Amino acid sequence: MKSEFDICIIGAGMAGATIAAYLAPKGIRIALIDHCYKEKKRIVGELLQPGAVASLAQMGLGHLLDGFDAQPVDGYALIQGDEKTTVPYPPDCKGMGLHNGRFLQKIRASALLNNTVTQIHGKALQLLENDRHEIIGVSYRESITSQIKTIHAPLTITSDGFFSNFREHLSNNQKTVTSYFIGIILKDCEMPFPKHGHVFLSGPTPFICYPISNNEVRLLIDFPGEQLPRKQLLQDHLDTNVTPYMPACMRHSYEQALQEGGFKVMPNHYMAAKPIIRKGAVMLGDALNMRHPLTGGGLTAVFSDIQILSAHLLAMPDFGNTDLIHEKIEAYYRDRQHANANLNILANALYGVMSNDLLKTAVFKYLQCGGVNAQESIAILAGLNRNHYSLIKQFFFLAMFGAFDLIRENSLNITKASKILVDAFAIIKPLAKNELSFAAVVSGYFKK
Ligand SMILES: Cc1cc2nc3c(=O)[nH]c(=O)nc-3n(C[C@H](O)[C@H](O)[C@H](O)COP(=O)(O)OP(=O)(O)OC[C@H]3O[C@@H](n4cnc5c(N)ncnc54)[C@H](O)[C@@H]3O)c2cc1C
């Protein structure tokens, strides 16, 4: 049966709207479904690493960052006690700090400008299957009428975000909550280093900040554990683990924001991509794969996935051959694993490092030394270096550096030095096992 659409996209969020904006001008007929097209105030996806900015530019969508007060970011600043250091992004590379809701509205508007996109207001309910258990579309409840309707397409993209309803049919994975982020906006705040992402390491748990408009800074405070913090616990956490470590230049804006209240709290998930490959459907975005947001790697992964999936789909003459679509989906899952492994491992490994006193000090001193190791590390964080060998090498250099530094300070530190190495190995091993193959690391060595 010939369908009215080539692709049905469930979820017009960062992933769904962006792939629609990219594919629609190329003549692909898209049904884009979401239950809410209003601008939301979210604390997610507000720092685009240079890798994400570069992907947007490569897709011809770089202009979507213009006109809503997005702020260029030149690199990272680390602050531990009285010591401060900065690590610039590679030359000619910039990140962007922005209001996610404003950015998403621009992406959606760009997608909806195309007459190849049909906007559907509704909540997707169920994937439709034929008698061969192939997915042939989706049923949804239309927002205005509450009627149940169906859309048929040879390919359904499920990009319904981190609470995905469709994940269980298309993926093997279990998600885990690593910690929570408490999001606060600081108005008219002077950061120690303008145009930089900041990581504050002085307290027992990390907090980060970056500009999201010309007079607003997003502060994200980590709250460790799997349980949503209750109000009193949250207040105690701020009083004990954050307020004393807030730099003087930020304190006034911070205290004002605390008085105004209205913070948002979001869970931070880790979920490696373990897709079940089924004919007629493919997963994109947080529905498929999540990592800790400490490194702001989410949208770098999302945009990179969009480029990979689109390149495979655009290589087909049309959407008439379901076997060929299936081959392209397999190729996408294979290629994206390699492209995103560094982002996924680094995000959760760095979170492990920041939660470990010895490793936290080691990472600060390691980056403070500057030079090629700091440059290679920041290029991995920026999503520009996807070589697995580089990542594993830098992680072990860091652990060795920390161990030798402790022994250099005092030869009696041998126990602590061994602990650093054991802890580093314990952090990286399960992540590498989930995300990498030995062959991929070895081939990275020859490609470096
Ligand atoms: C606290 C936090 C901070 C983060 N900070 C950053 C950062 O600074 N930089 C970065 O790069 N990444 C960051 N991320 C990650 C990043 O935000 C996500 O990877 C990205 O938003 C995922 O996009 P998505 O399209 O998969 O999901 P979303 O953008 O959440 O979109 C999902 C869409 O699906 C729709 N939907 C859901 N269910 C249905 C349904 N049944 N029917 C119809 N529509 C439906 C929703 O309405 C929504 O529009 C952060 C994540 C967290 C948790």
pLDDT tens, position by position, 26-54 = 999 999 999 999 999 999 999 999 999 99
State whether the beta carbon of 229 lies less than 6 angstroms from ligand 1: no
**Cα of 14 to ligand 1 centre, how many Å?**
6
Q: What is the pLDDT of residue 172?
A: 82
Report the sign of the C-alpha dihedral through residues 253, 255, 259, 263, in that order.
positive
Burial class (CB in 10 A: 0-12, 13-18, 19+), 133: exposed
Query: Which pair of tokens denotes residue 67?
Result: 């006109």
* Residue owning the nearest CA to atom 43 of ligand 1: 34
CA angle centred on 248, ends 246 and 254, rounded to 5°: 55
Lowest-pLDDT range, 195-204, 230-239, 251-260?
230-239
The answer to whether 181 and 47 are in contact (CB under 8 A) is: no
Distance between CA atoms of residues 304 and 104, nearest Å: 17
| Mean pLDDT (whole number) for 120-147 | 96
**Cα of 371 to ligand 1 centre, how many Å?**
35
State whether the beta carbon of 124 lies less than 6 angstroms from ligand 1: yes
Q: In this structure, what are the phi and psi dihedrals at residue 60, rounded to the nearest 5 degrees?
A: 75, 20
Cα–Cα nearest to 107, from 141, 61, 150: 61
Measured between alpha carbons, how far is residue 1 from residues 12, 100, 151, 154 in Å?
26, 39, 13, 10
Residue 16 CA, closest ligand 1 atom number = 25
Question: Ligand 1 pocket: which of 121, 160, 266 to mutate (most atoms <8 Å of CB)?
Answer: 160
Q: How sure is the predictor about 441, in pLDDT bands with cuts at 50, 70 and 90?
A: low
Q: What is the pLDDT of residue 229?
A: 82
Q: Which position has the token pair 């030798």?
A: 404
- What's the topology of domain 7-38+100-174+273-340? FAD/NAD(P)-binding domain (3.50.50)
Distance between CA atoms of residues 180 and 265, nearest Å: 7
* Residue owning the nearest CA to atom 31 of ligand 1: 13
* Residue owning the nearest CA to atom 45 of ligand 1: 11
Query: Which pair of tokens denotes residue 94?
Result: 């910039």
pLDDT at 127 over 70: yes
Q: How sure is the predictor about 400, in pLDDT bands with cuts at 50, 70 and 90?
A: very high
Residue 299 CA, closest ligand 1 atom number = 11
DSSP letter assigned to residue 228: P
State whether the beta carbon of 151 lies less than 6 angstroms from ligand 1: no
Question: Ligand 1 pocket: which of 33, 34, 266 to mutate (most atoms <8 Å of CB)?
Answer: 34
Q: How sure is the predictor about 438, in pLDDT bands with cuts at 50, 70 and 90?
A: low
Give the side-chain half-sphere CA count within 13 A for 314. Answer: 14
Report the sign of the C-alpha dihedral through residues 185, 189, 191, 197, in that order.
positive
Which residues does residue 30 pair with via DSSP β-bridges, in sequence order? 7, 117
Q: Which helix (H) or strand (E) holds 237?
A: helix 231-237
Taking phi over 0 as left and psi of -120 to 50 as alpha, with beta for the rest, 137 belongs to: left
State whether the beta carbon of 97 lies less than 6 angstroms from ligand 1: no
Distance between CA atoms of residues 324 and 103, nearest Å: 34
| Mean pLDDT (whole number) for 4-12 | 97
**Cα of 336 to ligand 1 centre, how many Å?**
18
The answer to whether 197 and 73 are in contact (CB under 8 A) is: yes
Measured between alpha carbons, how far is residue 29 from residues 22, 23, 116, 278, 376 in Å?
12, 9, 5, 21, 41
| Mean pLDDT (whole number) for 266-281 | 94
Q: In this structure, what are the phi and psi dihedrals at residue 351, rounded to the nearest 5 degrees?
A: -65, -40
Residue 14 CA, closest ligand 1 atom number = 25
The answer to whether 31 and 120 are in contact (CB under 8 A) is: yes
Distance between CA atoms of residues 320 and 318, nearest Å: 6
Report the sign of the C-alpha dihedral through residues 199, 201, 202, 206, in that order.
positive
Query: Which pair of tokens denotes residue 54?
Result: 């570069």
First vs last C-alpha separation in the chain: 49
Q: Which CATH number fits domain 47-98+177-270: 3.90.470.10, 3.30.9.100, 3.90.950.20, 3.10.580.10?
A: 3.30.9.100
* Residue owning the nearest CA to atom 19 of ligand 1: 298
CA angle centred on 48, ends 46 and 54, rounded to 5°: 155
Residue 210 CA, closest ligand 1 atom number = 8
Q: Which helix (H) or strand (E) holds 42?
A: none
State whether the beta carbon of 34 lies less than 6 angstroms from ligand 1: yes
Cα–Cα nearest to 242, from 268, 223, 217, 261: 223
Q: How sure is the predictor about 447, in pLDDT bands with cuts at 50, 70 and 90?
A: confident
Q: What is the pLDDT of residue 382?
A: 98
pLDDT tens, position by position, 217-255 = 999 999 998 888 888 899 999 999 999 999 999 999 999
Distance between CA atoms of residues 369 and 392, nearest Å: 19
Question: Ligand 1 pocket: which of 286, 291, 336, 340 to mutate (most atoms <8 Å of CB)?
Answer: 286
The answer to whether 197 and 95 are in contact (CB under 8 A) is: yes
pLDDT at 444 over 80: no
Q: What is the pLDDT of residue 2?
A: 62
Q: Which position has the token pair 């030079």?
A: 371
Lowest-pLDDT range, 8-12, 60-64, 201-205, 303-307?
201-205
Residue 269 CA, closest ligand 1 atom number = 53
pLDDT at 288 over 90: yes
| Mean pLDDT (whole number) for 213-219 | 98
Share of the chain above pLDDT 90, in %: 90
pLDDT at 64 over 90: yes
* Residue owning the nearest CA to atom 39 of ligand 1: 160
pLDDT tens, position by position, 363-392 = 999 999 999 999 999 999 999 999 999 999
pLDDT tens, position by position, 11-26 = 999 999 999 999 999 9
Measured between alpha carbons, how far is residue 390 from residues 297, 298, 362, 385, 387 in Å?
17, 20, 18, 8, 5
The answer to whether 202 and 81 are in contact (CB under 8 A) is: yes
Distance between CA atoms of residues 332 and 231, nearest Å: 43
- Predicted TM-score (pTM) of this structure: 0.96
pLDDT at 135 over 90: yes
Q: Quote the mean pLDDT of the chain.
A: 95
State whether the beta carbon of 289 lies less than 6 angstroms from ligand 1: no
State whether the beta carbon of 47 lies less than 6 angstroms from ligand 1: yes
Question: Ligand 1 pocket: which of 299, 300, 305, 340 to mutate (most atoms <8 Å of CB)?
Answer: 299
C-beta atoms surrounding 82 within 10 Å: 6
